[in-house]
Amino acid sequence: MKTLKTSLSKKDVLSIGDLSAREINLILTFASKLKREQKNGKARLLLRGKTLGMLFQKPSTRTRVSFEVGMYQLGGDAVYLGASEIQLSRGETIEDTARTLSLYLDCVTARVYDHKDVQTLADWASIPVINGLSDAFHPCQILADLLTLQEHKKKLKGLRLAWLGDGDNVCNDLLLGCAKMGISMTAACPKGYEPIEKVVRLAKAEGEKTGADIAITDDPVAAAKDTDVVMTDTFVSIGKEGERATRETIFLPKYQVNSGIMKLAKKEAIFMHCLPAKRGMEVTPEVIDGKSSMVWQEAENRLHVQKALLCLLMKAV
Ligand code: CP
Ligand code: NVA
């Protein structure tokens, strides 16, 4: 019975689309418990003897450290696999890499450029695969964001969220997460930088079931009005550095989160950003370093939600 209630329906988590609302709630509840216990100095060695592989094609601070530390705190181990240091860099296929890693590891997290790569890894691995960010999705970030929102607003359903800027990997999964949890979300993105169309369609369909309004616009002022939370992300995601000059011209100043934008939101509205941030670009220093900013709590929550996810995927609870 316990296994039934705590098991996730899919082997892998490549997007928030792989989780139901019930599963998201399960992860958030378990993450809160682990967070409380960690703060009270109670060790939970639920993953003793288990090893997580961490395959990274791109740089990372939060994802890499929080996964590694999370495994240690749960009594397990983590192996960092920089893509340039393993045989992948010499042409070994992802399929063969997946089969090999499955022989030694209990779970893998992978940060890749092309989402197809993490999908192939998951298809060929017999162990669970967690997307640690691809060009299309960033599920662990959204789980941390939802936990942060829940901690602040004491609820998720009925909240209103504005996204400003690039309709990127974080925005795609956020649309799905909000829709599933009953949070209305408007993403204000410049033309040509909107989230993936199919994801928007999926989010709208989910939103119809939960009462969440999902909308895409190019008007940040309309999006920010009367919202509970304003979120943004870098204008230049990893891999898009060549587009920096064009992007900055298109995004600035219209899509920057500044105190003018925050004034449009509710008085008690919070600001969130997955980090890393570029002050003076997508957000001004007075907002990200101001009282309404939750970015550090958001970053900390990566650790707690991922610990919960690891335990659930490795069936340790
Ligand atoms: N938010 C996030 O994923 O940060 P890193 O790129 O540092 O992992
Ligand atoms: N959209 C950003 C998120 C970084 C955590 C990127 O892909 O670089």
Is residue 29 in contact with ligand 1, taking CB distance under 6 Å?
A: no
pLDDT classification of 2: cutoffs 50, 70, 90: very low
Same fold, 16-138+302-313 and 141-298: yes
Active site residue 119: no
Work out which ligand 1 atom sits closest to the CA atom of 63. 8
pTM over 0.95: yes
Cα(62) to centroid of ligand 2, in Å?
11
Query: Does residue 111 have an active-site annotation?
Result: yes
- State the closest ligand 2 atom to the C-alpha of 133, by its place in the atom list counted from 1: 7
DSSP, residue by residue, the chain: -HHHHH--SSS-BSSGGGS-HHHHHHHHHHHHHHHHHHHTT----TTTT-EEEEEESS--SHHHHHHHHHHHHTT-EEEEEEGGGSGGGGT--HHHHHHHHHHH-SEEEEE-SSHHHHHHHHHH-SS-EEES--SS--HHHHHHHHHHHHHHHS--TT-EEEEES---HHHHHHHHHHHHHT-EEEEE--TT-PPPHHHHHHHHHHHHHHT--EEEES-HHHHHTT-SEEEE--SS-TT-GGGHHHHHHHHTTTT-B-HHHHHHS-TT-EEEE-S---BTTTB-HHHHTSTTB-HHHHHHHHHHHHHHHHHHHTT--
CATH superfamily of the domain spanning 16-138+302-313: Aspartate/ornithine carbamoyltransferase (3.40.50.1370)
CA of 37 to the centre of ligand 2 (A): 30
The CATH class for the domain spanning 141-298 reads: alpha beta
What confidence category does residue 197 fall into, taking pLDDT thresholds of 50, 70 and 90? very high
- Which ligand 2 atom minimizes the distance to the CA of 168? 1
Pocket of ligand 2 (CB under 6 A): 133, 168-170, 233-234, 237-238, 274
- Give residue limits of the domains in the chain: 16-138+302-313, 141-298
pLDDT mean over 207-224? 98
pLDDT tens string 111-137: 999 999 999 999 999 999 999 999 999
274 is catalytic: yes
Out of 62, 115, 302, 304, which one is annotated catalytic? 302
